[in-house]
A and B are shown apart, each in its own frame.
Chain A
Amino acid sequence: MPVDTVQEKVVYDRPRSLADVPNHYCPGCGHGIIHKLIAQCIDDLGIQESTILVAPVGCSVLAYNYLRVDGCEAAHGRAPAVATGIKRVHPDTTVIAYQGDGDLLAIGTAETIHAANRGEKITVIFVNNAIYGMTGGQMAPTSLQAQKTKTSPYGRNPSEVGFPIQACELLNTLRAPVFIERCAVSSVKTILKAKRAIMKGLRNQVEGKGYSFIEILSMCPTGWGMQPREAASWVDSEMVPAFPLGNVRDR
């Protein structure tokens, strides 16, 4: 007698480059999503054995424990310089500098601009969550006007401390970079676009093309004092108007 069986095929699983360990990020934090996208891209491009990751100082200081590639720490803000040193020694590897707000746009502003200006053939992933997460929620260079943080308890006042910095637009004044895009990980739709941007940024290195910069708006539920789903909505409703999504440069 014929019997129907149900065949199961796994269509979404842990990427090989993503370590099978729990991560220390808060519930709903964007880092976990972004690490996963990077791992998927590394697998899709087949570059697990030739990728080197430079971790920042910040919540993702242990990023090298979560991505199964050669990894390296960097002093706060210096990831682009460390990445430059690595890439100049091993030009055939894919070197990723993974950084947060303070790392990239406060203490590391000079390293960010000059690695981009030199056209270092690296991929910089900028996780913008408008706050300093690891140290307890202080104001970041990308904190929004009127945003309350530990060091702007009355709300960010532009007449005292200026306005949030738009990294993609800033780097777009430089001649050398080949790819600059801003994405988000607030919804499935934005996550899929972010993955495509990361893919392009990494493929540019594989093809020897030049400096790629991907800014990713990300949730920090703990720093913002919100539930994760609320935080994801806040990215869409509050951050995107200040940091428009989309490609700024694609050569």
Chain B
Amino acid sequence: MSPAATTRLPEIIRRREQDLLERWMKEQLSAVSQRRELLSESQLREQSREFLDLVAQAAAKTSLSSIDAPAWQPVRDMLGDLSRSRAIQGFTTSETATFVFSLKQPLFDLLRQEYDGQAAALTEELWAASATLDRLGLYTTEVYQEGREAVILRQQQEMLELSTPVVKLWDGVLALPMIGTLDSVRTQVVMESLLQRIVETGAEVAIIDITGVPTVDTLVAQHLLKTITAARLMGAECIISGIRPQIAATIVHLGVDLSAVITKATLADAFQVALGRVGLTVQRTPPRG
């Protein structure tokens, strides 16, 4: 790559900044995908001007090719903030990356004017500018992706916390209403919280209600059996309730042996069994009055 001295880009950007900004703005606003309702024109103009400034400063200090260099840190920070905020606002990846890529057309036009008649120098300058903009564009995509992944991760954790309540139905009777698909991580959390609550409350019976579980495969069945066995080792009994007909068929077809486990159709039936285990009965009393 050519050393920093040979590129005239910073100087050109500074000299023709207003011109470049106008053309770039026109380019960005004409892009059909640009979302006016999410980002006002003045905001966009401010962002664009800041970006041009920072690029000119960075390119003046070091070569164009090294966007990982410390001199480019302000540019990276600015693009990072921009990508993150756009990811949260709901822009798509390509809309975010367009911010950088749309600069190509006006910048190249400008360079062509400046290097009129010097084909070799023009090619070199174009190549350097193009490579830099590509890298910056990819950088925005990366940051955007990271932002999105962070959102997904947070939602997953929130769901994990929401979806595993262990409720006390009676003295010595716990219930665990499971909702949603069970995977290894969730089952692990469910298992630990159930066993922990058994120790805390001294419950003798725990009802695992799987009415809200859409499918049961061998792995899920195995996890359930493990939870039940662990509870038994601690001295508590588990009852499974809410098995739907399709799931019953699946369990039998998969060859999962649930014969050692008490299974009941509904949570009410299971609760009745649990009350029997702790020595209680439910009795109807004549209405008062």
On whether the two chains bind one another, the answer is no
